Structure 1
């Protein structure tokens, strides 16, 4: 779906841009000549519409493709960091400038770091966008055993914070909150009693990243379907600009404007 929208935006930009250019450099000079003779024909309706729409479409295309793009969180895999119904902003140039639609990196600057909250195209279905936290970089050995993450043989520091009773998790679940340090990032995560650990080990291939959800026992991530290739990266999530609680049918005002860590 996202590739279809990106393609539509490119097509609209091209069509309205061509109409604007034809009117500016071909038809407008003709109108000036006609006006000098006392006849002032105006542009047709479609030309007028395309000409006026072009600056708006161009601005949306440039901002969305190269600067920042909005996304909506559809699931609870990143609770408590992100809730279902959060509308987030994603930095599109954090991991290099990429060609729209094809997602080919044009300017190779910036790479994901451990602890980043990253949006990417789902490797098993690139038409879908996923959001997870970066745990492993290329060359890292990742071990998940008894609900503890080890990176290159070292356990990620984790501190218990008590029973979790916040939004995003059914009250009937026995869910516990922790603080985990990934790289330089300290973040909150959840573990649910009674859920299996799914122990695993993996070495991250070159130009790939190992990602996990903060709702650790309720996340479909690299533990099941593997690593994320660099070609699938979209950007780094950095802020919540809006929220709509699907249960309460109203915004959670306290979440608006929060940074994402």
Structure 2
């Protein structure tokens, strides 16, 4: 006999299939909440951030640092599938820190078409901050006129001049020395190396090394590839460009219009055109000034000569910033098909990568100290050096693929 508080159906146990279904729904909801508001997972598919981030690294990206960004479109979470025409205003829950120089940030690739939160993901390091003026001179970045040295784990091409062409950089020790690549040049006593600051310091100590200097590309073809195009910029000699800051009012000129028009039109949703050399129209109204509505950043890859970054496509708007890469939770070496155990749960360096001096300043000081020492003779050095062959290759053009994202596992790609 049933009572008001009971029924025959109340005592029936749930089927195993129903229990699994409910557990799956709860798990999906938790994953969506965590990955939308707290942390997200990504995989590195390109070498643009080497040697600090390697191809095959799996990253945890914190959305709490700068604050979780609310959805900007309606669609299936963690995919590019969305309902066309439906856009939401930009909102961000306050985070516990602000974007700082040196932060490795994950962001939506600005030039892509479509809703901001459906664009492909990139990972780069913040080099220029809002309101600053940035330039690159002979490969060395300058911020507001002050040099910003190549940081720890970053790499670029260097020209090494040897006293004798017979000397070779031991291939077996390249990784240990901080050298990723060695290339022949037309001069028999000169090679080009892809190396970190530590690698340059190590190789400069060899008695047979006469000089180590940055390899500066001088190719006029780069001008049309840079941002803005047609300014005779190259990746190694770039700018100066002024980085927009929220609330900052700038005078529009024919010289800066090429840099600011994409910002005004694409990222701040205004109609803009140049009327004369000194007058412009914003939303149909003539003006000579413009006030920016949000902060922008200048981002570059740690692998300076193999990175498609702000030098090529411009500023990163704050609306596009997803979060800060904080830890490598796993890493897989696809060439050797083994995990890199030493990189598991490894913190990702932020502003600590920058040193107090440029590499060239450090080398100059080291040479001054070495003048008081007795170097090995050339014959002794030859006998002590192994002579493996040097890797030959042609000069690369800057290229890379996007940073993607995994479906239920890490997102494939922050380029």
TM-score, length-scaled by structure 1:
0.72
Which stretch shows the higher mean deviation, 166-175 or 214-223? Answer: 166-175
1:54 — aligned with what? 25
Relative distance call for 1:236 and 1:89 in structure 2 (3 A) is: same
Which stretch shows the higher mean deviation, 95-104 or 195-204? Answer: 95-104
Relative distance call for 1:254 and 1:242 in structure 2 (3 A) is: same
Structure 1: stretches of 5+ with no match in the other structure: 1-31, 180-190
1:202 is aligned to 2:241: yes
2:365 — aligned with what? none
Contact 2:63 2:324 in 1 (8 A): yes
Shift of 1:236: 0.3
1:12 — aligned with what? none
2:59 — aligned with what? 88
Contact 1:79 1:168 in 2 (8 A): no
1:144-168 alpha-carbon deviations (Å, 9 max, x no partner)? 1110111111111458999993389
2:368 — aligned with what? none
1:175 — aligned with what? 194
Superposed CA RMSD:
3.1
For residues 3-22 of structure 1, the aligned pairs below 5 Å read none
Tell me the distance in 2 between the aligned counterparts of 1:149 and 1:130.
21
2:335 — aligned with what? 247
Contact 1:95 1:112 in 2 (8 A): yes
Query: 1:53 is paired with a residue of what secondary structure?
Result: helix
Contact 2:179 2:193 in 1 (8 A): no
Q: Which has the higher strand share?
A: 1
Shift of 1:171: 4.4
Relative distance call for 1:33 and 1:159 in structure 2 (3 A) is: closer
Structure 2: stretches of 5+ with no match in the other structure: 1-5, 74-87, 161-172, 184-191, 199-212, 219-235, 246-294, 350-415
Contact 2:140 2:149 in 1 (8 A): no
Tell me the distance in 1 between the aligned counterparts of 2:136 and 2:126.
14
Query: 1:244 is paired with a residue of what secondary structure?
Result: strand
Relative distance call for 1:168 and 1:250 in structure 2 (3 A) is: farther
Corresponding residue to 1:129 among 121, 132, 139: 121
Shift of 1:199: 2.2
For residues 67-78 of structure 1, the aligned pairs below 5 Å read 67-78=38-49
Tell me the distance in 1 between the aligned counterparts of 2:69 and 2:21.
27
1:33 — aligned with what? 7
Relative distance call for 1:131 and 1:34 in structure 2 (3 A) is: same
Shift of 1:84: 0.6
Relative distance call for 1:159 and 1:73 in structure 2 (3 A) is: closer
Contact 2:43 2:59 in 1 (8 A): yes
Contact 1:175 1:193 in 2 (8 A): no
Tell me the distance in 2 between the aligned counterparts of 1:146 and 1:194.
6
Q: Which has the higher helix share?
A: 1
Corresponding residue to 2:215 among 193, 208, 219: 193
Contact 1:84 1:245 in 2 (8 A): yes
TM-score, length-scaled by structure 2:
0.47
Query: 2:54 is paired with a residue of what secondary structure?
Result: coil
Tell me the distance in 2 between the aligned counterparts of 1:43 and 1:128.
42
Contact 1:80 1:168 in 2 (8 A): no
Contact 1:121 1:233 in 2 (8 A): yes
Shift of 1:41: 8.4
1:182-231 alpha-carbon deviations (Å, 9 max, x no partner)? xxxxxxxxx97364524222111121110001111111100111010111
1:236 is aligned to 2:258: no
1:5 — aligned with what? none
Contact 2:139 2:216 in 1 (8 A): no
2:366 — aligned with what? none
Tell me the distance in 1 between the aligned counterparts of 2:305 and 2:22.
52
**More RCO (CA 8 Å, sep 6+):** 2
